[in-house]
Amino acid sequence: MRRAVIVGSGSAGRRHVAALRSIEPEILITVVQRTESVQPREELLDLKASFASTLDEALALPPDVCVVANPSPLHADAAVRLLGLNSPVLIEKPLAADVRSAQAIQTAERNTKNHALLGYHLRFGDLLPELRRLVRSGVIGAPTGFSFRVGQHLGSWRTGTEAAASVSARAELGGGVLLELSHEFDALCFALDCTATSVTHCDLRFDGAPTDGKVETVAEVDLVTSTGIAGSVHLDMVAPEPVRDWVILGTEGTLRVDALRSTIRHENPEGTAQTIAEFAGGERDRAERRLIEHLLELSNPAIHPGCTTEDGIVALAIIEAARKSYMSGQVAPVELHVRLAP
């Protein structure tokens, strides 16, 4: 019988436990939850998970699959140890709280020749892969610009959790929109099949949401991709109504994604628009299931992760450049110290 170890009992950890139980009903699941944790246990108990107060306790028996879903500043310690067990490891986004910690994870992955899968779940959904396919197909010609936007008031992010006490609201736990909403940076790079070279401008705000006052509540990031395309990414935890939309401009048209309605519209240069892709509700659940199914199949060394430590370092490098640009008021290069696989 297979065993899974989940480090962290927050909303992400609980979501992964539910998916594992649905896919493999007989799997033994141990959740590492610190004794001082205030996270609820009821849902996990209903899913027949057992608990350990330390990673040592959880690893008394070897796991077949592991998940790191604790706060991002703690990812590296857990991930480096778990990668040494020769079992595939899913690491929640972001890969870490900074590039240096992310590189430690990548080094462990290289040294152990184990697989680390990064939890940017949009890659496993319906909309983002279809957007990438459409861009590659040339339906809008050559991309010339982009605008990615996501926002929702922090108070409605997690039901049943006091917003001010949440990970997202606290700097020491890796909060703030740059890290917590880094999905958008990864989605941009995935859709356009690129990385980024520079952040040309960044505005940050620290008000408007119940936080510790130290984390960013709004980020406006202008950047240039490795393919020379300029555009913007907007992230916020203050919007009264949720929004998530992505726009990619091209020489022969525009693609507009409304992620809340699961639609993609195409506009031609003459201004005529039509919906060219539409998906049923429940995309988040489908993406989660595909993510966990992919994690389980990584036990086969011939299969490679669909979202890698390299991808995670790219997102973190963009974030670090955004912070530097905000502090200096100048263009900041995106420094990609990624150790590419041979």
Cα–Cα distance measured from residue 178 to residue 78, given in angstroms and rounded to the nearest whole number: 22
Question: 79: domain CATH number?
Answer: 3.40.50.720
Quick one: 109 and 245 in the same domain?
A: no
Task: State yes or no: cis peptide before 94, omega within 30 of 0.
Answer: yes
Give a yes or no: residue 339 inside a domain. no
The amino acid occupying position 61 is L
Quick one: 100 and 194 in the same domain?
A: no
Cα–Cα distance measured from residue 216 to residue 221, given in angstroms and rounded to the nearest whole number: 12
Taken as a whole, the chain contains a residue count of 342
Cα–Cα distance measured from residue 323 to residue 196, given in angstroms and rounded to the nearest whole number: 15
Assess contact for 83 and 116: CB atoms under 8 A.
yes
Cα–Cα distance measured from residue 129 to residue 120, given in angstroms and rounded to the nearest whole number: 12
Cα–Cα distance measured from residue 312 to residue 321, given in angstroms and rounded to the nearest whole number: 14
Give a yes or no: residue 338 inside a domain. no
Give a yes or no: residue 320 inside a domain. yes
Cα–Cα distance measured from residue 246 to residue 185, given in angstroms and rounded to the nearest whole number: 11
* Residue numbers of the domain that contains 28: 3-120+288-305
Quick one: 74 and 162 in the same domain?
A: no
Quick one: 171 and 319 in the same domain?
A: yes
Question: 259: domain CATH number?
Answer: 3.30.360.10
Quick one: 41 and 109 in the same domain?
A: yes
Would you write out the chain's pLDDT as a tens digit for each of its 342 residues?
899 999 999 999 999 999 999 999 999 999 999 877 778 899 999 999 999 999 999 999 999 999 999 999 999 999 999 999 989 999 999 999 999 999 999 999 999 999 999 999 999 999 999 999 999 999 999 999 999 999 999 999 987 778 998 999 999 999 999 999 999 999 999 999 999 999 999 999 999 999 999 999 999 999 999 999 999 999 999 999 999 999 999 999 999 999 999 999 999 999 899 999 999 999 999 999 999 999 999 999 999 999 999 999 999 999 999 999 999 999 999 998 544 433
Quick one: 80 and 140 in the same domain?
A: no
Burial of 281 (0-12, 13-18, 19+ CB in 10 A): exposed
- Edge-to-edge strands, sheet with 230-236: 273-278, 263-267, 253-258, 243-250, 143-151, 230-236, 218-225, 196-205, 332-333
Q: Which of 99, 95, 336 is nearest to 196 (CA)?
A: 336
pTM over 0.75: yes
Quick one: 136 and 275 in the same domain?
A: yes
Task: Count up the domains in the chain and report the number.
Answer: 2
Token representation of residue 280: 């049923």
Describe the crossing of helices 99-112 and 75-83 by its angle, rounded to 10 degrees: 10
Quick one: 74 and 144 in the same domain?
A: no
Per DSSP, the residues of 154-177 read GGGTSTTS-GGGSGGG-GGGT-SH
Max Cα-Cα span within the chain: 65
